[in-house]
Structure 1
């Protein structure tokens, strides 16, 4: 097993390459305030990874309005009248359908002509239930391999994914899908503001390079591990685990508000004991009580794995790239990667 010092060295090059192009948490807070009058276009969104993309690609010429308050759970967002007006008035309403019902409704009613829906850009994965698989599967594997009809049927039956519909919106944990989204966003920005098209294209190229560096770090860091199981509070990590050949084991389904039953907790506890799993992951915006219960029963440790739905004091970084690298470090430690 590599030591923390070795892991830090392995991630150091990626951190240095990414740092020059990254925004800061302070910038996120500032941009969430009133849009500057000199901005060439205004973009509204409701989740942090899309905000990060817009800021990195658009720079000072784009005013990014974030609908979700810092530290708030984005799935639970309810819009005020003022926020609905911001959706209506924005040049681009940038969102991923199924993530935030209030945003979906506001876009449908107020911004259908200006909407840029990530679900129309990338192929979203079917939503998974508790354990990261269909409820009828007793083996605890993440079986979300594109069998959409089967997974959709079970999603409806188990009732865990009602907020998200049939698809998992957490696409941003796959850097390749983020790259596709960045390119589409730059193109749309250029259509809205042709004078800035070259700038937006350059911004997208910088973001693409950062994402490629992250992808290389993940490929290297997770290539050789003693364990492949990732036990999480809710199955928000399918895009990450599928991309790198890991096995997601979720206590709840993709909806973080779904309370796990005692039977679900007992099933996960048995899996952790049977497979000698050493780490239970919780999230910054999610209570750790269930993870603590399982850890107490199994002797496992509780660590943070961030689904990047927002930036908080508990996040392992202060922006998208640094949080992704923090997640990689947490995974490589938990899975005993070389």
Structure 2
């Protein structure tokens, strides 16, 4: 698995080659169209949270292509020439700048008219770790945290932007896009209220997670995220950071070490074993393994259930 912290000149060259290949593919008639064969708007989404918004808001009027296949960790995505061509020919693109460098490159090269950058709609915040994490070369990593979708209110802001852009790309169905946006924003407001009420009356407010993906969620609901790794799930904690985590976990009565679904749980298991604590899943929703049974809302509701158990919530 290619680590994001090792992306440097070589992947940039690779991305440039992929873009060149896509241009050749386009010249040979292989590029995607702004509309599908059945007349729907072709929308390219960079990874699952963006796909979910496009599908929920676009409904039957859009055909959504997710660049990140189910079960794939999105930070590691490398685009094929066919995928770059799809970005170039799309009727609309929904992505989050700063999360996937190869997607950022393809979007910039494409210069599309109808592009939604989630990070521009809900600006990223730095969630610094006290001791920092390293990029493998000893350098502290403090890039803006991209995980805005884990705060339902920020996600709702992005949803409104997606709805507005789809309406511009496909004015004939603008009323439907607005109606679908309003319905989704209402569901997200209900989810937000569920978290607010569900996290009352808890004995603890601190949780330990293997990946610093939950800073926005923690900020919004008055919790403290104690992260083993940084914003990149494959960054490496320093020995000092591990020692601090153990001390902080004991001091705050932490009962559970959370791990995620798309990255190995070995580090979380190791920390939990050292502290004689339980482990459980806290899903950052960067991807969904089974879209037939899971969705953004159902997984977030399960996250709430798992947080309540770990924090001793009884209300």
TM-score (norm 2): 0.83
Deviation at 1:272, TM superposition (A): 2.0
**2:299 paired residue among 299, 323, 327:** 323
2:313 maps to which residue? Answer: 337
**Counterpart of 2:141?**
160
The offset of 1:40, in angstroms, is 2.8
Contact 2:283 2:299 (8 Å CA) reproduced = yes
Deviates more, 1:41-50 or 1:266-275: 266-275
RMSD of Structure 2 on Structure 1 (CA): 2.0
Report 1:11-160 matches (<5 A): 36-128=36-128, 133-135=129-131, 158-160=139-141
Gaps of 5+ in 1: 1-34, 137-156
The 8 Å contact of residues 124 and 171 in structure 1, kept in 2 or not, is answered as yes
Q: For the Cα contact (< 8 Å) 2:45–2:93, is it kept in 1?
A: yes
Question: Once the 2 structures are TM-superposed, how far is the Cα of residue 158 of structure 1 from its aligned partner?
Answer: 4.2
- Which of 181, 187, 203 lines up with 2:158 in the alignment? 181
Q: Could you say what secondary structure the match of 2:228 adopts?
A: strand
| Cα distance between partner residues in 2 of 1:67 and 1:217 | 31
Task: Tell me the equivalent position of 1:206.
Answer: 183
Structure scoring higher RCO (CA < 8 A, sep ≥ 6) equals 1
Instruction: Compute the displacement of 1:112 (Å).
Output: 4.4
Counterpart residue number, 2:256: 279
Structure 2 distance, partners of 1:307, 1:107, is 24
Distance in 2 (alpha carbons) for counterparts of 1:83 and 1:277: 43
1:154-193 deviations in Å (ceiling 9; x for gaps) = xxx94324xxxx3111100111111111111111111111
The separation in 1 between residues aligned to 2:157 and 2:196, in whole angstroms, is 19
Verify the 8 A CA contact 1:170 1:236 in the aligned structure 2. yes
**Matched-pair contact (CA < 8 Å) for 1:93–1:111:** no
Q: Which residue of 2 is the match for residue 221 of structure 1?
A: 198
Cα displacement (A) at 1:114:
3.1
Alignment of 1:229-268 (within 5 A): 229-268=206-245
Cα deviation for residue 38 of structure 1 reads 1.6
Q: Are the aligned partners of 2:131 and 2:240 in contact in 1 as well (CA < 8 Å)?
A: no
CA gap of 1:118–1:37, structure 2 versus 1, over 3 A, is same
What is the CA distance between 1:89 and its match in structure 2? 0.5
> What is the CA distance between 1:216 and its match in structure 2?
0.7
Displacement, 1:265? Answer: 2.2
Q: Is the 8 A contact 1:40 1:193 kept in 2?
A: no
Cα distance in 2, alignment partners of residues 48 and 37 from structure 1? 24
- 1:92: Cα distance to partner? 1.1
3-state SS of 1:257 partner: coil
Distance 2:120 2:249 in 1: 38
Find the counterpart in structure 1 of residue 171 from structure 2.
Answer: 194
**How far 1:93 moved relative to its partner?**
1.4
Structure 2: runs of 5+ lacking an equivalent: 1-34, 133-137
Which whole-Å CA distance do the structure 2 matches of 1:247 and 1:188 have between them?
35
Secondary structure of residue in 2 paired with 1:97: coil
Distance (whole Å) between structure 1 residues aligned to residue 130 and residue 45 of structure 2 = 31
Q: How many correspondences in the alignment?
A: 276
